[in-house]
A and B are shown apart, each in its own frame.
Chain A
Amino acid sequence: MADQGKVDPMHQFEVQKMFDMFHVGNHEVAFTTSAMWMVIAGLLLWVFMIGGMKRQLVPGRWQVAVEGFTGFISGMMNANIGPEGRKYTPYVFSLFMFILMLNVIGLMPLGLFGVHPFTVTSHFAITGFLAILSFAIVLIVGFWRHGLHFFSLFVPHGTPWWLLWLIPVIELVSFLVRPFSLALRLFVAMTAGHVLMKVFASFIIDGVAAGPLVGLGVGIPSMALMVGISGLELLVAGIQAYVFALLTSLYLNDAINLH
Chain B
Amino acid sequence: MPQISQFAESWYAASQIFWVLLTFGFVFFVIGRGMLPKIEATVDARDRKVADDLAAAKAAHAAADSLEESYRQQSDASRAAAQKAVTDAKDKAAKDAEKRLAKVDAELSDKLSAAEADISAARTSAMAEIESVAADAASDLVAKLSGVKVAAADAKAAVKAVLHG
Interface residues of A (CB under 8 A from B): 10-11, 13-15, 17, 20, 24, 26-32, 34-35, 38-39, 41-42, 45-46, 49-50, 52-53, 55-57, 59, 66-67, 70-71, 74, 89-91, 93-94, 97-98, 120, 122-126, 129-130, 133, 187, 191
Other than the given A13-B2, A28-B15, A89-B36, 16 more pairs (CB < 8 A) read: A13-B3, A27-B10, A29-B14, A30-B11, A34-B16, A39-B23, A46-B31, A55-B39, A55-B42, A57-B46, A67-B43, A93-B32, A98-B24, A120-B20, A123-B3, A123-B16
Which chain B residues lie closer than 8 Å to A15 at the CB level? 2, 6, 12, 15-16
B71 at the interface (CB under 8 A from A): no
B106 at the interface (CB under 8 A from A): no
Please tell me the number of chain B residues within 8 Å of chain A, measured between CB atoms.
Answer: 39
CA distance A91 to B37 in the complex (A): 12
Query: Please, which residue of chain A has its CB at the minimum distance from the CB of B49?
Result: A57
Which chain B residues lie closer than 8 Å to A28 at the CB level? 10-11, 14-15
Would you give the shortest CB distance from A196 to chain B, in whole angstroms? Answer: 15
- Are B16 and A13 within 8 A (Cβ)? no
Majority SS at the chain A contact face: helix
Would you give the shortest CB distance from A76 to chain B, in whole angstroms? Answer: 13
The residues in B between 30 and 83 inclusive whose CB is less than 8 angstroms from any CB of A are 30-33, 35-40, 42-43, 45-46, 49
- Are A74 and B40 within 8 A (Cβ)? yes
- Are A125 and B13 within 8 A (Cβ)? yes
- Are A93 and B3 within 8 A (Cβ)? no
